[in-house]
Amino acid sequence: MQDVQEPAAWGGVEPEAAQRLLTAGVEAFAERGYHATTTRDIAGRAGMSPAALYIHFKTKEELLFRISRVGHERARAVIAAAAESEGTAGERLAYAVRAFARWHAEHHTTARVVQYELAALGEEHYAEIVALRREIDRLVRGIIEDGVRDGEFAVADVPGTALAVLSLCVDVARWFSAAGSRPPEEVGSLYADLVGRMVAAPDARDARRHGPQK
């Protein structure tokens, strides 16, 4: 259980000690879950005493919130880059799925906290996070709507399909493990291909037929 990922993860946050607490929190929450993680465990991983946590964060829940917010903002940025890129709806959707699935694999520890610890947030913090999640949902649905309008996609249930596409990517965080799994970029390519087939109109199929090798 090593952590090769998270390169310059929490870049330039506050005093360096707060940064260490954030990464320690991500690791611990991802491994055991929020409620099974003790403040002593987090502080220990960051190399300090339990009391030090409360200098940088008001409560354990606020530490979770800070992790969750930064995580959601990064996830949104990944989708937004795809949605705002040039190209057909098919290209933008492939970009979005490839990048989003890959992000969930590469940063699966952060992603696990982002996707599976929402219930532990306080009411106000939860509301703020939900707003970010709705934006992500809206961006994906927008791409699919574009494709349907252009006749590139044949999708009967747009909201349902958008939900399924996001759901597929999100669940990568659950099953992906750095050790046993295929590399993140492979997950991204596979998922982009699968989603492409899910939405493609029959006549637009030939464009995809020649496959994902580039």
Q: Give the C-alpha separation, 157 to 214, whole Å.
A: 31
Residues that bind a copy of itself (CB under 8 A): 32-33, 35-36, 115-116, 119-120, 156-157, 160-161, 163-164, 167-168, 170-172, 174-175, 182, 186-187, 190-191, 193-194, 197-200, 202, 205, 209, 211
Q: Which is nearer to DNA, 92 or 112 (CB)?
A: 112
Q: Which is nearer to a copy of itself, 127 or 194 (CB)?
A: 194
Residue with tokens 């997950």: 187
Q: Give the C-alpha separation, 57 to 156, whole Å.
A: 47
Which does residue 144 bind out of a copy of itself, DNA, none, counting CB within 5 to 8 angstroms by kind? Answer: none
Which does residue 214 bind out of DNA, a copy of itself, none, counting CB within 5 to 8 angstroms by kind? Answer: none
Contact assessment for residue 103 and residue 74, using Cβ atoms and an 8 Å cutoff:
yes
Q: Give the C-alpha separation, 26 to 33, whole Å.
A: 10
Q: Which is nearer to a copy of itself, 86 or 157 (CB)?
A: 157
Which does residue 170 bind out of a copy of itself, DNA, none, counting CB within 5 to 8 angstroms by kind? Answer: a copy of itself
Which does residue 50 bind out of a copy of itself, DNA, none, counting CB within 5 to 8 angstroms by kind? Answer: DNA
Q: Give the C-alpha separation, 63 to 69, whole Å.
A: 10
Which does residue 91 bind out of DNA, a copy of itself, none, counting CB within 5 to 8 angstroms by kind? Answer: none
Residues 6+ apart with CB under 8 A from 36: none
Q: For residue 183, give the DSSP letter.
A: P
Q: Which is nearer to DNA, 41 or 106 (CB)?
A: 41
What ranges in 33-122 are assigned the alpha helix state H?
39-45, 53-56, 60-83, 89-106, 108-116
Residues that bind DNA (CB under 7 A): 15, 17, 37-40, 43, 47-52, 54-56, 58-61
